Amino acid sequence: METSLQLKGDHMVSNDHVSVNAHNHLTIGGKDTLELAREFGTPLYVMDEAFVRAACRHYVAAIKTHYDGKGLAAFASKAFCCKAMCKIAAEEGLALDVVSKGELFTALLAGFPADRMLFHGNNKPADELEFAITSGIGRIVADNINELEQINTIAGSCGKRQSVQLRITPGVEAHTHDYVRTGQTDSKFGFALQTGDAMRAVQMAVRMPNLRLSGVHCHIGSQILDVQPFMLAAEIMTGFIADARDQHNITIEELNLGGGFGIRYTEQDNPPPHEDFLHSVSRAISGVCSARNLPLPFIYIEPGRSIVAPAGITLYTVGAIKEIPGIRTYLSVDGGMADNPRYALYGSQYEMLIANKAGAEKTKRYTVAGRCCESGDLLGKDVPLQDAAAGDILAVLATGAYNYSMASNYNRLLKPAVVFVNNGAVRVAVKRQSYEDLIQSDE
């Protein structure tokens, strides 16, 4: 008998992939996390494949249900990139957002069709552009003039006409962490709409012989918990497409609205149902289209976090526990900022539990520390947890996005393995790094 934990209450797909079994152990995807820790060691990233697939399907279906025109959901692979994940995204009919030759290379090796990929970034090196163009990448999202010129030149020398979208900053300020806010004019990304740069870039792109201007793109930020800024961005961008037609007789067929849909990390986060994002955004686009007599654009959305974050957990072994009377109690684990730098970088909060006492009440608070040699290596401060002891297994929830993909070898720690569970079955998606891997590039 399993009890559903209702921990994160993600609105998109059911979160009953995380439960407690009769042994009082945390389970994910029908697997006892204690068994996973024993079999694969810790730290360990565990992803529920069924959850990931359901989330992909959800986005595909949501576009069909809520948007009167046509569209594609692209998985933002920066959130979690490995061959197994690219394969899943391909099988579920998603497009793919890649941001480097590394992500592109991984996806190609996984058999992801190049023509369903979009290449992002504010400073793509020429060799990466060339690799993308010769690989037959579907769209390059051009960020600046220098890049437009480079794409035009490289495409010309390859005898190709490259489809591009232009990254535009629509001037929308989303309420999220400064480091992940990107829609405002003061941004390293894209052509500012408000300064006229965006329209000038459109005019320039259509004159370049080896480019095909397919669309415009914006991404206003990440972990956004409010529908309003998305609607505003959609309205502004659709209006921009209408302006390009009215003022310059330029047809722009595609509108890419980026990603950024927030998830519930802790009880403090209250994301609207992801359905609402799409529904509201569709209404915003349709409103402008009918007011300005514009055909509905083909839309792209680029969810990353919301597809993979809730699907993942990280398991650690608890080591030293140190109480500093009157101050706090530190609980140290065998991982930390090297496998999850998000607390150190953004102060991100996570829900945690002791996996072998998962059903017990959380009666204690611990400051969860990693094993790296610096004081900032924490996973959370004063986190409510079950009474813990050395040897327990700590589970950090909702680590499926921007954890593995942001992991480092700081202090020469090995990157953990990633295992996929799927209705009780387990497979290794990424092997744990070995010490041989670690020194492989050292001369």
User: Which residue in 343, 402, 404, 420 binds ligand LLP (CB under 6 A)?
Assistant: 402
Q: Which is nearer to ligand LLP, 33 or 182 (CB)?
A: 182
Decide: is 31 part of the binding site for ligand LLP (CB under 6 A): no
In this structure, what are the phi and psi dihedrals at residue 344, rounded to the nearest 5 degrees? -65, -35
The β-bridge partners of 45 are: 314, 418
The CA distance from 386 to 397, in Å, is 15
Size of the site for ligand LLP (CB under 6 A): 21
Using alpha carbons, select from 274, 309, 294, 295 the residue that is nearest to residue 60: 274
Of 53 and 219, the one with the shorter C-beta distance to ligand LLP is: 219
Nearer to ligand LLP by Cβ, of 153 and 405: the residue is: 405
Task: State which of positions 1-30 bind ligand LLP (CB under 6 A).
Answer: none
302 binds ligand LLP, rule: CB under 6 A: yes
Nearer to ligand LLP, 152 or 306 (CB): 306
CA distance 229 to 257: 11
80 binds ligand LLP (CB under 6 A): no
Binding flag, residue 219, ligand LLP (CB under 6 A): yes
Residue 73 bridge partners (DSSP): 301
In angstroms, what is the minimal distance from the CB of 305 to ligand LLP?
3
Residue 418 CB, shortest distance to ligand LLP, in Å, is 17
Show the site string, 305-324: x = touches ligand LLP by CB under 6 A, - = not.
xx------------------
327 vs 366: CA distance, rounded Å: 11
CB 313 within 8 A of CB 28: yes
Is position 303 an interface residue for ligand LLP (rule: CB under 6 A)?
yes
Find the binding residues for ligand LLP in span 258-297 (CB under 6 A): 258-261
Give Cα 4 distance to the centre of its chain.
26
**In 3D, which of 120, 171, 126 has the Cα closest to residue 141?**
120
Q: Which of residues 110-129 bind ligand LLP (CB under 6 A)?
A: 120
We find the least distance from the C-beta atom of residue 259 to ligand LLP, in angstroms, to be 3
Min dist CB 91 to ligand LLP, Å, is 20
Could you tell me the strand order of the sheet in which 31-32 lies?
Answer: 3-4, 18-20, 26-28, 31-32
The span of 33-41, 47-55, 236-244, 256-264 binding ligand LLP (CB under 6 A) equals 256-264
Which stretch, 51-59, 236-244, 303-311, 389-397, contacts ligand LLP (CB under 6 A)? 303-311
Respond yes or no: is residue 218 known to be catalytic: no
* CB distance 291 to 326 below 8 Å: no
* Amino acid at the residue 426: V
Quick one: 259 or 297, whose CB is closer to ligand LLP?
259
223 lines the binding site for ligand LLP (CB under 6 A): yes
Nearer to ligand LLP, 85 or 358 (CB): 85
Nearer Cβ to ligand LLP (297/304): 304
In the set 76, 117, 148, 388, which binds ligand LLP (CB under 6 A)? 76
Residue 181 binds to ligand LLP (criterion: CB under 6 A): no
59 touches ligand LLP (CB under 6 A): no
Report in angstroms how near the CB of residue 79 gets to ligand LLP at its nearest. Answer: 5
Nearer to ligand LLP, 316 or 343 (CB): 343
CB of 342 to ligand LLP, least distance (A): 5
Window 320-349: residues binding ligand LLP (CB under 6 A):
342
326 vs 114, 309, 323, 385, CA distance in Å?
58, 35, 9, 18
CB of 347 to ligand LLP, least distance (A): 11
User: Residue 79 or residue 284: which is nearer to ligand LLP going by CB?
Assistant: 79
| Closest separation in Å from C-beta 261 to ligand LLP | 6
Q: Does 97 bind ligand LLP (CB under 6 A)?
A: yes
Chain residues in the site for ligand LLP (CB under 6 A): 76, 78-79, 97, 120, 180, 219, 222-223, 258-261, 302-306, 342, 401-402
Q: Where in the sequence numbering do the catalytic residues fall?
A: 373
